[in-house]
Structure 1
Amino acid sequence: MADGDDKYPAESGRRRFIKGVVGSASLAGLGTVTAAAIDTTTSPTGAGGGITQYYGPENTAGPAPRAMPQIPIEVDDEGFVKGVWPEPETITEQGREVTVARMQLGGITYTSEWFQYCGVQTYPGVRPDADQDNFFRYASSAPYEWQQEEVEGGERVNVEHFEDYATWGNGIGRSGLGKPALATWRSEDVPPSGTMPVQIIRSTRFEELSEQGNEWVSASTEQGFYANLNKCTHFCCVPGYKALASSGRFGASDEIYCQCHQSVYDPFQLVEVSFVALPRPEED
């Protein structure tokens, strides 16, 4: 085998061991995994979970199996940006009472179950009745120079920080396509291991889609603000929009790019997909 032939892909410098070693083990356990997935949708092994439809940025390249879940936006009277969270309620499912957070939004059921994957189902903030205010707060470390210089970690995200969104650029891809920030959500006073990471983008593209009558974009974005839970659906890494210059080698300069295994998501192409949401741990 020639040098570089055992990499995936060649530019990434990663070794192609997944296909041979991990891949064979995965195939050997396929029946078990499938059975477990079916059981998750039919058995009350925890709170919530099961087959869930949701919206998110389309996965356009790389091994990620589906879109990351979008977080609907609202902006309060003071310009602070927050994620929409349905009012929790107690219902009876499969013969037992459970607390859920569900609402109708843009023609689809929006629910806390959208975020129950990659271990997030165990995070304190994903509990429907968690005591959180839903404001986005800037992450303490971010790849964006503007965010490092102009705001503090833990500070609430505000519209005034994005006034140059129609022209902003950082030398990665096209300028004027959208201004990004990394934030956290429903994670106040939560250990770092339970913090929900969020990608925020403010772009005229979302305003245009809303004006064109896109029902979901109109319902889930406001003043050009868009957000998604920033957990790659492949191996749960944290991607970034215009965060790495190397994204250009994979055609992702203007898209959300995950450097771990080169998965790419198009934030301006929001699609409705489904997955099996993992149940939260049993509630006391």
Structure 2
Amino acid sequence: MSADDKYPPESGRRRFVKGVVGGGALAGVGATGSATVNSLTSSTGTGGGQTTAMAIELTGGPAPRGMPQIPIEITDDGYLRGKWPEVTTITQNGVEITVAQEDMAGDVTYSGEWFQYCGMEGYENIQPEYESDNLFRSAPGGYDWQSEEYETGEQLHVDSFDDYEEWGNGIGQDGMGKPASANWRSQDAEDTLTATVIRSPLIEEAAQEDEWLAASTENGFLAWLNVCTHFCCVPGYKKNEESSRYDAADGVYCQCHQSVYDPFNIVQTLFIARPRPN
């Protein structure tokens, strides 16, 4: 599909140029970041402020940045678990606060603040000390193969992804990876954190030469918080045939306003995390 066809007139959508929205947002942070951080970390909330997160790359549409990655690990029993940062106490603006953050690889600090947007900063399961086994559990509305293997709420297991190098569902290319819709840190919470897990040979190969991917993925498994950074919708990877009209058949496509993400390219994003309510 040509660039001219990417946003056809009948879609009623504006054409966006890659990097323009995100670049403008970063420029704004650079110019006024200090004042913005101070206003967001006042007595009305805890933590938040200027945050650097690792995310699946935004490649098109109106969203301001990519969706945050969830570092993943495999338990001894073969279940998939999203890592949660270590909980510690720091002093911010002269006040001691509890945060979830840890240095993982290179200069990357993994933080619970990566997920503080779209109102999720108020979720109990985003709070640093919320207790969870952090396992990914099968979510409703997943892929056809999931409904055949899992009940909603069952823990995802590596054995279900053995065909990841061949899997396909008729959307885009086969063999890019096998996905699953999941909930994370949500089994006993009022609010749900939606995620996507994928096992991909592309991630498996890239992790051999990338320090961050080597630390945050395992055996080709990658996960991200599946909440669009535009208007907080739930996008889909290979879930909507319309995605091919926007060069997104092999990407993550948000049907609400046609934002597109590349799950096979992890990039650093800079944004203002919203403070957690006191």
The TM-score normalised by the length of structure 2 is 0.87
* Aligned counterparts of 1:225 and 1:117: Cα–Cα separation in 2: 24
CA contact 1:44–1:94 (8 Å) conserved in 2: no
Give the 3-state SS of the residue equivalent to 2:125 in structure 1.
Answer: helix
Offset of residue 131 of structure 1:
1.2
Cα RMSD of the aligned pairs, angstroms, is 2.1
Aligned equivalent of 2:253, options 222, 235, 257: 257
CA distance in 1, matches of 2:91, 2:57: 34
The question of whether the paired residues in 2 share the 8 Å contact of 1:57 and 1:271 is answered with yes
Task: Tell me what 1:209 maps to.
Answer: 206
**Kindly tell me: are residues 15 and 174 of structure 1, through their superposed partners in 2, closer, same or farther at Cα, counting changes over 3 Å?**
closer
Q: 1:23 maps to which residue?
A: none
Cα drift, residue 150 of structure 1: 1.4
In the alignment, is residue 57 of structure 1 matched against residue 56 of structure 2? yes
Residue 36 of structure 1 deviates from its aligned partner by: 8.6
Distance 1:38 1:128, change over 3 A: closer
- The 1:39/1:97 distance shift into structure 2, 3 A limit, reads closer
How far apart are residue 13 of structure 1 and its match?
5.4
Q: Alignment partner of 1:180: what SS? A: strand
In the alignment, residue 261 of structure 1 is paired with which amino acid?
H
Shift of 1:140: 2.1
Shift of 1:155: 0.4
In structure 1, how many angstroms separate the alpha carbons of the residues matched to 2:58 and 2:36?
22
Q: What residue identity is the alignment partner of 1:116? A: Q
Aligned pair count reads: 255
Q: Is the 8 A contact 1:40 1:278 kept in 2?
A: no
Identical pairs, percent: 55
Residue equivalent to 1:139: 139
Contact 2:41 2:47 in 1 (8 A): no
Q: What is aligned with 1:73?
A: 72
Q: For the residues of structure 2 that align with 1:268 and 1:235, how far apart are their CA atoms?
A: 23
**Structure 2 CA distance for aligned equivalents of residues 129 and 9 of structure 1:** 47
Offset at residue 231 of structure 1 (A): 0.6
| Structure 1 unaligned blocks of 5 or more | 1-7, 17-33
Which position in structure 1 is the counterpart of 2:46? 47
User: Quick one: distance in 2 between partners of 1:36 and 1:230?
Assistant: 30
Residue matched to 1:221: 217
Aligned residue identity for 2:264: F
Deviates more, 1:87-96 or 1:127-136: 87-96
Kindly state the Cα deviation for residue 128 of structure 1 after the two structures are TM-superposed.
Answer: 0.5
Q: 1:11 to 1:73 in 2, by over 3 A?
A: farther
Amino acid at match of 1:136: F
Deviation per CA, 1:11-65, whole angstroms, max 9, x where unpaired?
A: 435699xxxxxxxxxxxxxxxxx99945434534312101000111110000011
Indicate conservation of the 8 Å contact 1:133/1:186, yes or no: yes
The alpha carbon displacement at 1:147 in A equals 1.0
Code of the residue aligned with 1:94 in structure 2: it is N
Other-structure match for 2:9: 10
Residue equivalent to 2:118: 118
Tell me, what secondary structure is at the counterpart of 2:163? coil
TM-score (norm 1): 0.85
Amino acid paired to 1:209: A
Task: Say if 2:41 and 2:48, in contact at 8 Å, map to a contact too.
Answer: no
Alpha-carbon distance, 1:104 to partner: 0.5
Stretches of structure 2 that go unaligned for 5 or more consecutive residues are 1-6, 16-32
What does residue 196 of structure 1 align with? 193
In the alignment, the residues of structure 2 paired with residue 60 and residue 236 of structure 1 have an alpha-carbon distance, to the nearest angstrom, of: 17
